[in-house]
Amino acid sequence: MWFKNLQIYRLSAPWTVTPEQLEERLAAQSFAPCANLDMQSQGWVSPRDNGMLVHTVNKQMLLMLGTEKKLLPSTVINQVAKARAAELEEQQGFAPGRKQMKEIKEQVTDELLPRAFSVRRSTRVWIDPVNGWLVVDAASTAKADEVFKLLLKAIDKLPVQNLRTERSPQAAMTDWLSADEAPSGFTIDQDTELRAVTEGKATVRYVRHALEAEDVQRHIAAGKQCTRLAMTWADRVSFVLTESLAVKRLAPLDVLKEDADKSAFGEDERFDADMTLMTGELSKLLNDLVEALGGEAREPH
């Protein structure tokens, strides 16, 4: 149930779409598998395999975007097209031109697509109307953009904006390491990345390695900035904060796992209890993280 990566966005206005209204609007973009000549298909799927596209617990909403993609590498297309071009050259006495070669590749693609293997993946979305968060469980902004592309078809004026803080994560993380002191409520763990701002972008990474204050301070004095930092929040959740204000490798710690073990018995009740626990903890984590970064950036007048 727990998200593994957080692409974090702010609701820029009160969320007024009810779960029932959202369900109805998402239905128009529900997932359908790739047709024979489709390279990719995307649409909304049920987070609980019960036919419902919006799963709601305590006003918290969970959505899931499904993606199916055909595996047809360009090297395969080029290889088959090259063989076809050689046959055609033998028949007509001269090599195919650019236009004819393009047509051959298109024909080969159409022939191979129906037989191509496909892979499916899903991207989960958490909407928190109470605390004003929209979070995508994705390691990259590109995956989050796929979510917004379809959400904008369902909600014409989607009240979402990028999260901006008074201090950049890079500057704040560098200061925390330089002072050898984590912000209140957090501890610094053993993974970090320091990168020079010069053209060469020389990079030093510590992986499961104790951070010696003197070594880190020496790298910072030489002009490197912290771009990734492993941290723990309130002894409850571990994660890696990046320079783009994304959270990666999110994991609940033992104290939360123990809470979850006691929470429910049936599968549905257990899922809802896990969702309640996750959304409750993450909303607090996000608030504390924003505070550690100087609060949200004020809009310029």
Yes or no: say if 9 and 135 are a contact pair by the CB < 8 Å rule: yes
C-alpha 77 chain-centroid distance: 31
Per-residue pLDDT of the chain (301 residues; tens, 9 = 90+): 899 999 999 999 999 999 999 999 999 999 999 988 888 999 999 999 898 999 999 999 999 999 999 988 888 888 988 988 888 888 888 888 899 889 888 888 888 888 888 899 999 999 999 999 999 999 999 999 999 999 999 998 899 999 999 999 999 999 999 998 999 999 999 899 999 887 778 888 888 777 777 788 888 888 899 999 999 999 999 999 999 999 999 999 987 777 665 555 688 888 999 999 999 999 999 999 999 999 999 865 4
Per-residue model confidence (pLDDT) at position 29:
95
- Please tell me the pTM assigned to this model: 0.86
Domain ranges of the chain: 7-70+118-162, 74-114, 169-292
Per-residue model confidence (pLDDT) at position 301:
41
Q: Left if phi > 0, otherwise alpha if psi is -120 to 50, otherwise beta: which for 93?
A: left
**Around Cβ 63, how many Cβ atoms within 10 Å?**
25
Per-residue model confidence (pLDDT) at position 283:
97
Per-residue model confidence (pLDDT) at position 197:
81
Per-residue model confidence (pLDDT) at position 94:
87
Q: Left if phi > 0, otherwise alpha if psi is -120 to 50, otherwise beta: which for 250?
A: beta
